[in-house]
Amino acid sequence: MKLMKYENNPIIKPNKANQWENLAVCNPGAWYEAGKFYLLYRAAGDDEDHYIYIGLAESDDGFHFKRSSNTPVLSPTPNSFDGGCVEDPRIVKFGDTYYVTYAYRPYPPGQYWLFEPDEVRSYDVGEDAPLCLKKNIANTGLALSKDLKTYQKCGRITKTNLDDRDVILFPEKVGGKYVKLHRPKEWVGEAYGCDYPSIWISFSDDLMEWHDSQLLAKGECPWEKKIGGSTPPLKTHKGWLTLYHGVDDEGIYRVGAMLLDTHDPTRIIARASDYIMEPEHDYETEGFYEGCVFPTGNVIVGDTLYVYYGGADKYCCVATCSVSELLDFLLQ
């Protein structure tokens, strides 16, 4: 089974009129409520430092989006933990408040597509500076909002000095605990039970201190050498529908799916051995990361799953499928 890509992708392209988003827009977090779709998308301009921002777009049908503002809704805070970039948002909601996890760096990454894979610009900040500054390490923060337009930043929700991204909250507590998926890049080797970065699951009473971390899933097939969470798990009558990304030896990003137990999300009920989406079109193969489909948002409306993803680190795109068909496919 494969996701069906929208024939008029990309749904959001770089906007030459706004300097902060004239180069790339990608990796959108998604929300659906009261008949309206919302996307928080990663955006960057053509500046050499490559500062990264988050913009907001809205739609009535999930395909045709209009930007809500000519300015970012979330920006790096100068001289702070996220002074270089805010990116790859994932959205959940508790009560009347949106909880947005986002990746950040203390300094802008530079034009990373000109560097070696997994490398970004580093800065000479002195030998005695904290490791996160010396290596410009990526981590994950939490921001709260009532309207997806104004935010209260809460700071880091992962361990220090780890490159810990793809941090995704479950949209409700399980067993009275908050639950998150995350991908600590350094947790590899015999002591961790995986040879490459993988998906871990952790629990918390307050969203700030996390415990009981355990390995949830690691790469098993040739198309998924390293893996990470993609979109917030969605609760279905069969379990938590969970999408993830896999990266092969050639650096190609594809999308996989698995089903987690409703009451014990550390237990995988089903996991497809084949991917459900791969890069095919020019908007997925020609950009700043060539050969990449990277979902960060998904919503269910009726029996339709809308998956919002970044194409080649340059565009925002969408693909859909029947929820019931995807569940059947997984459980087979």
| Upper half-sphere CA count for residue 147 (Cβ side, 13 Å) | 4
pLDDT digit string, tens, across residues 239-262: 999 999 999 999 999 999 999 999
Best CA proximity match to 54, nearest among 33, 30, 35, 32: 30
Average pLDDT over residues 265-292: 97
Average pLDDT of the chain is 97
DSSP character for 196? S
DSSP letter, residue 14: -
Segment 116-132 mean pLDDT? 90
| Helices H / strands E in the chain, number of each | 3, 21
Q: Check whether 226 has a pLDDT greater than 80.
A: yes
Q: Is the pLDDT of residue 161 over 90?
A: no
Superfamily name with CATH number, domain 4-331:
Glycosyl hydrolase domain; family 43 (2.115.10.20)
Q: Which residues pair with 299 in a beta bridge?
A: 306
C-alpha–C-alpha distance, residues 213 and 207, integer Å: 14
Q: What percent of the chain has pLDDT over 70?
A: 100
Query: Tens digits of per-residue pLDDT, 5-29?
Result: 999 999 999 999 999 999 999 999 9
The residues that bridge with 202 in the sheet, in sequence order, are: 180
Sketch the domain layout of the chain as residue ranges. 4-331
Task: Please state the rounded mean pLDDT for residues 289-311.
Answer: 98
pLDDT of residue 304 exceeding 80, the answer is: yes
B/e letters for 75-98, b = 16+ CB within 10 Å, e = fewer, are bbeeeebbbbbbbbbbbbbeeeeb
Task: State the pLDDT at residue 109.
Answer: 97
Check whether the bond before 72 is cis (ω within 30° of 0). Answer: no
Q: Specify the pairing of strand 293-301 against strand 152-156.
A: unpaired
Q: Could you tell me if 89 and 296 are in contact, meaning their C-beta atoms sit under 8 angstroms apart?
A: yes
35-88 pLDDT tens trace: 999 999 999 999 999 999 999 999 999 999 999 999 999 999 999 999 999 999
In the predicted model, what is the mean pLDDT of residues 109-118? 93
Main-chain phi, psi angles of 284, to 5 degrees? -115, -15
Give percent of the chain above pLDDT 90: 94
Q: What is the pLDDT of residue 163?
A: 94
Query: pTM of this prediction?
Result: 0.98
